[in-house]
Structure 1
Amino acid sequence: MNKEDAKALVKTINNIFNGRKEIEDLSIDKYARALLYDLQKVRLLQIRREEFKDNGKFIRKYYWSFNNNGIKEAAIEKTKEEPFGIYKKIPKEAWLQHLNNN
């Protein structure tokens, strides 16, 4: 993900949570919910379920929150560099010049 997309994603998530640590699932639209599910898959968010009885009916409510441990792990995770990845950084022109000189 490029830097601009990451900033836009953070802004969207901040707007959804609006400074709260937890939000009720029913309070968000389906597009925001889809985004939250994507972030849950990569362990940046988590969902909590609450069950209770209201007028003889069992009700389930779901709440979204940040997965602080998952966020910390993602922040410190080292990217695995390919063993020969350095060669991808060399411009094509340099490779062509090398071929022409041999």
Structure 2
Amino acid sequence: MKKLGLQVEEARSTEQNLQKLQSARIAAYVMQDMPADALIDMLGIQDVRKLPLPFSAKDYFLPFSRNFYAKSPDLAARLWEQIAKTRKSQINTLLKKYNDTL
């Protein structure tokens, strides 16, 4: 963000930044989509608006060897599906643990 010429203010935690945003001490805050949604819900913040387009996007991959995928395409697909289900079901718990450590 600094490279874009934007003024950047740092804080100790995501929660502090969201509180600064809620109290209009900062105009915007950039964070990952799912953690943002979960933390905003967990903190009961209602007067902030999430923009519809991401600031940036980054893909993460779980690579399989060609040999493994050729032998087990169904298993590879099930692993991806389970990762997505686990992420959705565990995100709030993981975010709370993360936030408590800050």
Larger Rg: 1
Higher strand share: 1
Short-chain TM bin: under 0.3
Q: TM-score, normalised by structure 2?
A: 0.23
Q: TM-score, normalised by structure 1?
A: 0.23
Q: Determine which structure has greater relative contact order: mean sequence separation of CA pairs < 8 Å that are 6+ residues apart, divided by chain length.
A: 2
